[in-house]
Structure 1
């Protein structure tokens, strides 16, 4: 079974490289078991696909949280040197334990680096265990269904750049077994045991507690739930797009409120969100959208200004809901 999973990962990456004619790859690494396993796969594929002439580069983001940060960087550099590849290291001087803030830093740096050097494919080491932990974090935050399964194996991040997360089907224990099998030099990260970081609490305390005292198959059940949520979310998105296109005005920045008010409340929210973003790249808060929907659904409606928001005016005229820019 383990060997079968290994072949699936190799095949997935190889297929993606060939299908999209990828020649320039950026791998975001941490020095942990996930990134070391991916380095092993990519360097092997580089030799197997010698006709393609793959260029593989690595990027590492150092938050400088721990006293051993410099030693870890040296360890990573020495290992990449053995591969005869290049690595770029960014150091974040602001010390913080906010996981959301650090994730934003990392993503923006990787995105800017990929755009600057025209990488066609960015690969990260997110695994199935990460997906479960992210799911629990999003539930704690009260996120909507679209945020509960926000890690996709493949997505487009720039016009000519994809991001691939090939390890999403493998859990952390499986990847650890693989690294041991190939004698890969895993760096033990002490920040994984800092309990001020919410993800560490979930990983080290919450999930083991649930498995022991509440339900031993909690991880499998969450995976199944994420799988179902994915299809539910895709159905909602497709329905919203279809309804939005049918509701659009042929000439003006407007949609038919008569068609909107007959829909499910959730679809009404999503259609108005899409309307605002499609025309003005504006994300409207749920509280504002609900105010708009309540006005649209009211019985007496002819010509009415609903509200102003930043530099925009929302108003109704006959059967149409309009969004216009405020003129000073």
Structure 2
């Protein structure tokens, strides 16, 4: 089963390169088991005759969290030299332990690098364990259904730039033993044991406790839950788009709220959010949207401003919800 799954990973990357005619790939690496295994796969594909045009480049973001950061960079440079690969290393001068901040810095640097040097495909080493941990983190934050499955296998992030996460079907244990079998030089990252980082507490303490005392198949169950949420969210999104297209004004920045307030409450919220994002490129918080909906359902209101957000005013007139800029 493991060999079959690993073969599917290679086929996935192979078919993606062929489908989108990928000429160059940027692989975001950490030196850990996931990225080292991906390097092995990509270098193997590159050596195949029909991929002699493929250009590979590796990018590493140093957050300078640990004392041995320089040693880790040296390890990565030595390995990429061994396989005759190109690597770019960025250092983040602002040292922080906030995972959210570091993620934003990291993704912004990788995207800007890809845009500047015209990379069409970015590959990351996220695995199924990462997906489960991200779902748990978002549950703690009280995120909506759309955020519980925010690690997609493939996505388009900027014009013609794709992100591919080919290891999302494999868990950390399978990847670890695959690296051992191939004698790959895995770097043991000490930051994985910094318990000030929430993800590490989930991985090192919460999940082992749940497996031991509550449910041993918790990861599989969460994966099943994520898949169900994905299809439910897709159904909601399709209905939101239909409702928005039926209710929007043909000429002005407005929607007919009488066509919206008869719908399911979540459809009302999502339709107004889509209206704001499509026309104003702003994300209106759920609590503010609920305030808007309550006023829309107040039959006594006929013409008035109902809420403000930044430089925009939302007001109603007759059956329409309008948006105007503040003067």
- TM-score normalised by length of structure 1: 0.98
The 8 Å contact of residues 23 and 52 in structure 1, kept in 2 or not, is answered as no
Is 1:15 matched up with 2:15? yes
For residues 47-89 of structure 1, the C-alpha deviation after alignment (integer angstroms, 9 at most, x for no partner) is: 1154550000000000111111111101101111122111000
**Equivalent residue, structure 2, for 1:321:** 321
CA distance in structure 2 between the aligned counterparts of 1:49 and 1:211, rounded to whole angstroms: 46
For structure 1, the residue ranges without an aligned partner over 5 or more in a row are none
Change beyond 3 A, Cα 1:229–1:308: same
CA RMSD of aligned residues (A): 1.0
The 8 Å contact of residues 45 and 51 in structure 2, kept in 1 or not, is answered as no
- TM-score normalised by length of structure 2: 0.98
Change beyond 3 A, Cα 1:25–1:49: farther
CA distance in structure 1 between the aligned counterparts of 2:171 and 2:258, rounded to whole angstroms: 48
The offset of 1:120, in angstroms, is: 0.3
Comparing 56-65 with 286-295, greater Cα deviation is found at 286-295
Secondary structure of the structure 2 residue equivalent to 1:25: strand
For residues 221-265 of structure 1, the C-alpha deviation after alignment (integer angstroms, 9 at most, x for no partner) is: 001000100001111111111100010111111111110110111
CA distance in structure 1 between the aligned counterparts of 2:71 and 2:192, rounded to whole angstroms: 17
**Equivalent residue, structure 2, for 1:227:** 227
The 8 Å contact of residues 260 and 268 in structure 1, kept in 2 or not, is answered as yes
The offset of 1:301, in angstroms, is: 3.1
**Equivalent residue, structure 1, for 2:259:** 259
The 8 Å contact of residues 24 and 121 in structure 2, kept in 1 or not, is answered as yes
CA distance in structure 2 between the aligned counterparts of 1:302 and 1:196, rounded to whole angstroms: 52
Is 1:110 matched up with 2:137? no
Is 1:100 matched up with 2:80? no
For residues 108-164 of structure 1, the C-alpha deviation after alignment (integer angstroms, 9 at most, x for no partner) is: 110111111110000000000001111111111111111111000000011010000
**Equivalent residue, structure 1, for 2:141:** 141
CA distance in structure 2 between the aligned counterparts of 1:48 and 1:278, rounded to whole angstroms: 44
CA distance in structure 2 between the aligned counterparts of 1:7 and 1:86, rounded to whole angstroms: 26
**Equivalent residue, structure 2, for 1:29:** 29
**Equivalent residue, structure 1, for 2:237:** 237
Secondary structure of the structure 2 residue equivalent to 1:65: coil
**Equivalent residue, structure 2, for 1:201:** 201
CA distance in structure 2 between the aligned counterparts of 1:157 and 1:308, rounded to whole angstroms: 30
CA distance in structure 2 between the aligned counterparts of 1:247 and 1:136, rounded to whole angstroms: 36
Tell me the number of residue pairs that the alignment of Structure 1 and Structure 2 aligns. 327
Comparing 8-17 with 139-148, greater Cα deviation is found at 139-148
Is 1:186 matched up with 2:186? yes
**Equivalent residue, structure 2, for 1:82:** 82
The offset of 1:194, in angstroms, is: 1.2
Secondary structure of the structure 1 residue equivalent to 2:258: helix
The offset of 1:6, in angstroms, is: 1.0
**Equivalent residue, structure 1, for 2:158:** 158
CA distance in structure 2 between the aligned counterparts of 1:246 and 1:82, rounded to whole angstroms: 59
Change beyond 3 A, Cα 1:49–1:169: farther
Is 1:309 matched up with 2:309? yes
**Equivalent residue, structure 2, for 1:125:** 125
CA distance in structure 2 between the aligned counterparts of 1:237 and 1:69, rounded to whole angstroms: 43
CA distance in structure 2 between the aligned counterparts of 1:142 and 1:51, rounded to whole angstroms: 45
